[in-house]
Structure 1
Amino acid sequence: MASVNTNAGAMVALQNLNKTNSQLQTVQNRINTGLAVSSAKDNGGIYAIAQNMRAEVGGLRAVTNSLDLAVSTVDVALAAGDAISDLLIEMKEKALAASDVSLDSASRTALDEDFKALRDQISTIVENAEFNGTNLIDGSSSGGISALANAKGTNTINVADEDMSLSGTILGLSSGTDIATQSDAAAAVTAIESALTNLNSALSRLGTGSKSLEIHKTFVSKLSDSLEKGIGNLVDADLAKESARLQSLQVKQQLGIQALSIANSAPSTVLGFFR
């Protein structure tokens, strides 16, 4: 039936053209964003999974920052402990020399001055072994330092503090320790040897804690990379395929416009019936 009121051909052509335009818009959006699933309307299930994984990655970034902070704090403590160990070795050398009964008073006095300077330097090092307000070796950080271990914040890695101050639990030296006499020097040698033994144990514990933090930091980095790769597998667009599809849809769009133009001109043939 020929009719000017209803053009079925134009309706079909328009439906096909609208469908092509919709597909073209989707492809252009994928090319613009690089994502096959950029919002929930693209694929609600995949989008929800990807968002959960993105939250996990964000949490792991916080874990990494926490681990970095803890590692730096422990490394500062280790550096200070190494310096204290060197000072104790020098102090033992001075004390051993001063314990010689044949030493004259002038030499003993000079050794004592050097000894006390080294002793006081330990206190200076301990007071300044601080990172971001935390000092693991001055006895002020009760319980040590904790770092986040997972993105939920339910697990932590702890490194205990070590009191390396002169009168602390590690060194056990008095702030007034000197080698002014032969007997004082002999006692100082014994005390320093004990302090060195305790200090080496403390440094070993700190080193183990620092290694644990570094190992977990490496694991968190690999886990984060794996999650990001998984997100990409879920939502990233294959741009090579989308580019080919874009060209195909552009041709279909032009053909659809041509088909609609032909369909729209069909009612004009009715005029031939009245000539």
Structure 2
Amino acid sequence: MGIINIMKRLSPNAFIRIAAVLMLGCFSLGANAQVAECSKKVYLTFDTGNMSVAEKVAEILKRQNVKATFFLANEKTYRGDFALDDSWKPFWQQLAKEGNHFGSHTYDHDYFVKDGPKGQVFEKQQFGPKAGETVLYNEAAMCKQIRRVDQRFQEMTSQPLQKIWRAPGGKTSPTLIRIGDMCGYQHIGWAPAGFLGDELNSEKHPNSALLEGASRDLRDGDITMAHLGIWSRKDPWAPAVLEQLIVNLKGRGFCFGLLPKDSANQSK
């Protein structure tokens, strides 16, 4: 007897019960498939840089339904303005609206030079009134550089940063990390395989090689690092590599998380 004839012989109540069981089974299969599909997690992060590929990065993340964590400094951009100027306000507002996360990269993009006396640190400002100078920061001065980004971000988006920061170049010391902790901000670095290479020489490190390496080497829990534009790279990284990298990682069973890692908001 065919299944259609069997279904015709069922009472309405029996038909409804069977349909419910079938739907529940399909739902369970779908849920299990989703878990199997997303068995690992990677954390995409971007530092400001010169912002030349910022809009492209945002487009790719939105198209791929992926969120990322951005570390902001008031860096000079390819437009001749600065990344935290009002001219960039709509960009940051849109990223925030879409559920991305944000941390401080220090306001003047201060590079750690060395530890100073009495728990202080020497930092070299890349931008701001003392650009190019090496300045001795005590805890209060270093906290101001971290928190100033938070204050400016709130002015632009009406929401605070996550309580995280990243030292420019990833250059730190135990003293600098301690200062950041005392300011209330957790320092976020990146995994060795997470260095995506967008600031390397494009002739020696072509996009195809960078894509292949990251697609192969990233592991569960790794944090990546790239920029929203780099002055020195002739062959821009983001348009050529980012979207295919996301596709490749999804194919390996990765989903994409937001920082800090204990955040309740995660993207699939």
Give TM-score, length-normalised by structure 2. Answer: 0.28
Question: Larger C-alpha radius of gyration, 1 or 2?
Answer: 1
Q: Which has the higher contact order (CA 8 A, sep 6+)?
A: 1
Which structure carries more strand by proportion? Answer: 2
Give TM-score, length-normalised by structure 1. Answer: 0.28
